Every structure is written in C-alpha cells, then in structure tokens.
Structure 1
Amino acid sequence: MAAGGNSGDHTARPVASVSILMSTYARESAANLEASLSSLRAQTLPPHQIVFVVDGPIDRAQEAVIARFRAFFENGPTVFTPVRLPHNEGLAAAMNAGLAHCGGDYTMRMDSDDLCMHDRVAVQMAYLHAHADTDCVSAWAEEFFDDGTPSSLKISPVSHDAVLQALRWRNVLVHPTICVRTELLRKLGGYRTRFGLLEDYDLFVRLAQAGARFHVIPKVLLRFRAGMDQRRRRGGLRYALHELDFRRELYRSGFLNMREFALSASLYLVFRLVTGGMRGRLYAFARH
C-alpha cells in the first residue's frame, strides 16, 4: 500500500508518519518475539517503519525470527530498520539508540513480548491526525500472564488535565502503548538511566514539564505480558532508593509541592520495601 493510498482506499495513511520503536535481548523467547512481530504484520494500517534494536547478543532462534520478518517487510509499505548493540545496555540505552533511526513524525513504543490489537496503529494515528495539539497519545491495555493467572485491565485517566494530576502520584501511562511526537522526544534527550527502572515515568514527567499535551484512548489497544519476576524487580532497597531520588527530583523541579513529595515518597518507600503477598496485593491495587 503506497503512502496516501487512492481516493477509494478507506484505510489510507494519515498525513503523519509513525515509527514503531522496540527492542529485544538475550532473555526474550523466540516465541514471544514471533507473536509480537506478527501483531505488527496484522495491522489494518501498516506503520511506516519498525526500528528494531537488538540489545546485545541473542540466540539463533530469535535471529531466525528477525530474519523472517525482515524479509516479509522488505517488499511492503513498512521499512524494517535493525539496530544492533554489541553488548546488552538495558532498555533506556536501547531505546535511545533506536530513536536516532526513527524517521516518523511520531514514535510508537512496544516491547518484544507485547501484542498489539489489529487496529492499534490506525486508532492512535487517526486520533493524532484529528488532534494536532496532542503530543503523546496512550491507551488502555490488558495485562496477561503465561501461567494461567487471570488477565487484568490497566486503565488510565483519559484527559490531559487528569493525566497530569495523576502523574503526581503514580505512573498511570502504560509505557508500550504510547505514541509521542518524535521531535519532542529527541529534544528531551530521550530516556535517562539515572532512576533505574523508572525511566518511563521520568520521561512522562519531563514531557509534562516541557508542555506536552497528553490523551489516553479509553480502549485496549495492546496486551502486555507480565509475571511475578517482573514484580519482584519492582521492589527491594535499591529500587526504593531510586524511587526516593526520583521523588526528590520531582520536588526540586517543581512538579511536586512539599506535601505531595512527603506523602508520595513515604507511600512508595513502604510499597517498594514490603515483600511477599502484601506487595502483590498493593501492586494490583495500584494498577487498578
């Protein structure tokens, strides 16, 4: 399908272009990666570009998946752009390396084990085409587990003002659902690693402080894989210290007032330091 389509093509691309930014690494499974890329192949509106970062050495099974999809996209409307890092550097560094190759007006995130709904690109790009003042559009998502645990919905406030208010207390945006103006993302310097695994929350706050306009589409456009290992990584002393440092930065930058800083820092220190079933219950409560 050529950019713009013809007068009878009701799935013609919006004027703005979009680059999908994603990465994989050694611990990802070939099956998850295949499913993720298949969900992009099935889009009703193909993205203009997929920037695919290989974050360090991976196994032959993943390499075979990448080769198959690279060949598939070669003759279609989507440009498949591989970016390889010699060593595993982590998500933030991988995203920054890929961002340098994003040629779209907007950059749409997803992870190598996420599944996009078939209309994700079409819905988000249609909204951005109709609302030129929006800089970052997100969506609701479904969290699912491979072990048979029932899936759950990750919902967020919809309006710009509601998103800003909620961000003072917690990260309400599902990182792999965002589609953000590429020029603005580059202007901010992309992702920072200073606060550990809070690089997405840090980015959203910096976008807000730069005057970005947010909107969340109240529809599930992505399914993201979760597990207890992921939740364990979100706790412990090291994570708690990153959280405290992050909250201090929000206060110093004026995003939080003293009351908001004191209350949110106290609550999150407890949350990061509790263990076992209690953290799981608090996690589920916070996500809903």
Structure 2
Amino acid sequence: MKFSVLIAVYAKELPSNLRQSLDSIFNQEMPPNEVVLVEDGPITQALEQVVMDYTIMYPELKVVKLEHNVGLGLALSEGLKHCSYDIVARMDSDDLSRPERFSKQAAWMELHPETDVIGSWVDEFSDDSSKIISTRRLPETHSELLRFSRYRNPMNHPTVMFRKKAVLEAGSYRHCPLFEDYDLWVRMMQHGAKFHNLQESLLLFRLTTQLFDRRGGRLYIRQELNFQRKMYHMGHITLSRLIVNCIVRTLLRLIPNGWRKFGYLFFLRR
C-alpha cells in the first residue's frame, strides 16, 4: 500500500524536535512513499538547514512553502493537495512515531476498506522520550468514538492515517484555531466516514508547559465555545450537551495552569 505523510512546521519549532520527528518517519518498518512537509510561513535558518539536510538524504521528501503563516488548518489543507496517494498519515513536527506505526495502520486500512480514519493511543513524555508520563487512551470502535466525540476529541491527531478522498468529501481541513482536527472529525462523521482506534500507543507525544498554557485563558475559552456552538449547529450535539460542555470546559480553562496540568494527567488520562 502506497501512502503519503503530511506534516507542517512553523518558525517556533525547535530544529532538534523536527530532526527527531523526521527520523521517526523515515526509520519506519514500513517507510512512506512520500513525505509532504509544509512550511507554514517563513521559518528560521536553523529549521531551513534541517529541511535541506533531509531533502538531500530523502528524495521522497516534498517541501511546500507558504509565503505567510496561515495556521495549522489551512497549512494542512494546502499540503493535502500535494499528497500523491489516497492514504495519508499525519504527523506533528515535535512528536515521534514508533517504528511499527505505519505498518500496523496500513495493514488495518488494507483489511478494512470501510475504515476512513484510523488512529491509536499516545504515550506522553516531557524531555526524555524513554520516560512516559501518561497515556492518552481512546475508545476503539466507530460507535464508541461517535458517542465520545460529543464531549471530547475522539482521535489523537498526530497518530491518524486517513483516506484523502473521505477528508476532501467532508471539506478538508479549514481555519478553526486550536480545533482544526476535532472540527474535521465531526464533519467527516456527519458525512458518514468511519473511524477506528488501535488499542495501543503508536506515537510518543511531547508534553510541554506551553501546551498547558495554551489550553487556558480567555482566548482559548472563546475559541472553544465557538467550536461547541458549531457542533450544535451541525446537529452533532444537543442543546443540553452544549450547555454542559461549555460549563465544564470554561471552568477547566479558568483554573490555574498547575491545577489544569494535574487534571489532565491524573483524571483525563485514566
């Protein structure tokens, strides 16, 4: 099965993180036929050097340069247009895919043509990828994920492999700050796409203090409440679920960062 990998990078990424991420992609048991790397606006000279090094080593690396920073959703939408194959695996520029990830997901997609999106759990780490802090486990079957999606994101975005055709039929990625993937999954479910999660961790996800900072504050609350209203207007959630979601999520975003981190690691990850 031939497939592409879609990854985006922007100026604030650390060059060392990008190197590790690309190494985890190219050192797979089942390497991709193509890697589409989107530069979301101008990047640093150090990042450009990393990209140049890997384009020399791996001719299957295709670079798409965007003149301005447009945000993750629109960057991925543009990158998807450059993916040559219908099967596309997502990856983030600071995470690490386990060596068996692509082979296991591709095998599932080949045996289950009804599946449009497949993901997995993730193991989360801080500085040392050998020291796992927590694991984000998600339901397995489509019916479970459909129910789960009414109050939480049903997929770990950097773990997914999907059918490009199904993504495009739902409208592809769009500008939905902080919720680009969740927004796409809901629209795909509305269009009848089928989801599945392998019940094992196939990716190492980098947790940073900045991540928890970004998930708090009034700006995040506004973005989140806007997205909850979108789900309601799409008919994905009921009015009562909208109200409950908005109350719970607003409280979570207003508590101190340390408490929010504790809640994520010791309640939402269990």
Please report the TM-score for the alignment, with normalisation by the length of structure 1.
Answer: 0.89
- The aligned counterpart of 1:11 is none
Alignment of 1:1-288 (within 5 A): 14=1, 17-74=2-59, 79-146=60-127, 151-194=133-176, 196-284=177-265, 285-288=267-270
**Maintained 8 Å contact 2:146/2:154:** no
8 Å contact kept, 2:134–2:269: no
Which of structures 1 and 2 has the bigger CA Rg?
1
In the other structure, the counterpart of 1:9 is: none
Tell whether the 8 Å contact from 2:123 to 2:132 is kept in structure 1 after alignment: no
Cα distance in 2 for partners of 1:250, 1:273 equals 22
**What secondary structure sits across from 1:110 in the alignment?**
strand
SS of 2:92 mapped into structure 1: coil
- What's the RMSD between the two structures over aligned residues? 1.6
Shift of 1:20: 0.4
Letter of the structure 2 residue corresponding to residue 22 of structure 1: I
CA positional deviation for 1:94? 1.2
* Cα deviation 1:117-165 (Å, max 9, x = unaligned): 1111111000000001000000111111027985211110011111111
Contact 2:28 2:100 in 1 (8 A): yes
Q: Which moved more, 1:38-47 or 1:269-278?
A: 269-278
Q: Name the SS for the 2:39 alignment partner.
A: strand
User: Secondary structure of the residue that 2:249 maps to in structure 1?
Assistant: helix
Structure 2 CA distance, aligned partners of 1:253 and 1:199? 16
- Gaps in structure 1 of 5+ consecutive residues: 1-13
Contact 2:157 2:181 in 1 (8 A): yes
Q: How many residues align?
A: 268
The gaps in structure 2 that reach 5 residues or longer are none
Runs of 4+ in 1 over 4 A off after TM superposition: 147-150
Partner in structure 2 of residue 7 of structure 1:
none
1:281 deviates by 2.2
Is 2:18–2:50's contact at 8 Å kept on the other side of the alignment? yes
Residue aligned with 1:163, SS: helix
Residues 133, 150 of structure 1: alpha-carbon distance in 2 compared, 3 angstrom cutoff: closer
Query: Is contact 1:99–1:186 with CA below 8 Å preserved after alignment?
Result: no
- Following TM superposition, by how much is the alpha carbon of 1:287 offset from its aligned partner in structure 2, in angstroms? 3.6
Mapped to 2, the partners of 1:59 and 1:256 lie a distance apart of: 42
Q: Quickly say closer, same or farther: Cα 1:241–1:59, change in 2 above 3 A.
A: closer
Per-residue CA distance 1:46-103 (angstroms, 9 max, x = gap): 11110001112222222222122112222xxxx2211001122221121111011011
